């Protein structure tokens, strides 16, 4: 019998980001993948489920922070991807450490490989998502941790350069 093909979303390796957004004094965070679309200006694209609380906050403020998850944050990425901000304050219940953003209200998450502060420049609806094209306004990188990748619904370290 022919082997069943994996879902298309499981075929390509993806970045793992802890996306934060803040509105009305409340923070929310979700796990999301992201792709770069331009170096100069630095533009990236995320697609966010319209049902999510993060979506509501981005619609209100036009900004978010992408915290590039480190290999130490896999458990957090799974939890942020499986809980909804309307039901629980994820920052309190998961004890997430934060630092204030420099150019946006959304906080940086401590322990991330990088925190990229983004402002939406355009958006459009696709199916149950809104696709946001955003400019990276500012970012900080941690030298102490490494990013994690998601592939076929598993998380991987990027430890070895292939030549």
Ligand X SMILES: Cc1cc2nc3c(=O)[nH]c(=O)nc-3n(C[C@H](O)[C@H](O)[C@H](O)COP(=O)(O)O)c2cc1C
Residues that bind ligand X (CB under 6 A): 16, 28, 30-33, 47-49, 52-54, 77-78, 80-81, 83-85, 150
The SS3 of residue 61 is helix
Q: Residue 137 in contact with residue 104, Cβ under 8 Å?
A: yes
Q: Which residue is closest to ligand X by CB? A: 81
Report, in Å, the least distance between residue 20 CB and ligand X.
10
Which residue bears the tokens 């049902």? 51
Nearer to ligand X, 127 or 143 (CB): 127
What residues does 126 pair with on adjacent strands? 129
Report, in Å, the least distance between residue 120 CB and ligand X.
15
Report, in Å, the least distance between residue 135 CB and ligand X.
18
Nearer to ligand X, 44 or 108 (CB): 44
Nearer to ligand X, 79 or 119 (CB): 79
Nearer to ligand X, 86 or 110 (CB): 86
**Beta-carbon contacts of residue 91 (< 8 Å; ≥ 6 apart):** 27, 29, 98
Q: CA-to-CA distance for 85 and 122, rounded, in angstroms?
A: 24
Report, in Å, the least distance between residue 144 CB and ligand X.
23
Residue 95's region, left for phi above 0, alpha for psi from -120 to 50, else beta, is: left
């Amino acid at each position: 019998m022919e082997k069943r093909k994996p879902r298309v979303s499981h075929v390509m390796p993806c970045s793992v980001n802890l996306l934060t957004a803040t509105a009305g004094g409340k923070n929310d965070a979700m796990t999301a993948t992201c792709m770069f679309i331009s170096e100069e200006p630095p533009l990236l694209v995320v697609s966010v489920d319209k049902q999510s609380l993060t979506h509501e906050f981005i619609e209100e403020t036009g900004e978010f922070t992408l915290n590039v998850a480190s290999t130490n944050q896999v458990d957090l990425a799974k939890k942020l991807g499986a809980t909804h901000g309307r039901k629980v304050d994820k920052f309190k219940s998961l004890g997430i450490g934060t630092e204030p953003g420099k150019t946006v209200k959304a906080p940086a998450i401590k322990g991330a490989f990088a925190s990229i502060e983004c402002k939406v420049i355009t958006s459009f609806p696709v199916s149950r998502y809104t696709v946001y094209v955003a400019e990276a306004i500012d970012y900080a990188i941690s030298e102490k941790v490494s990013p994690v990748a998601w592939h076929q619904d598993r998380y991987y370290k990027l430890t070895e350069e292939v030549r």
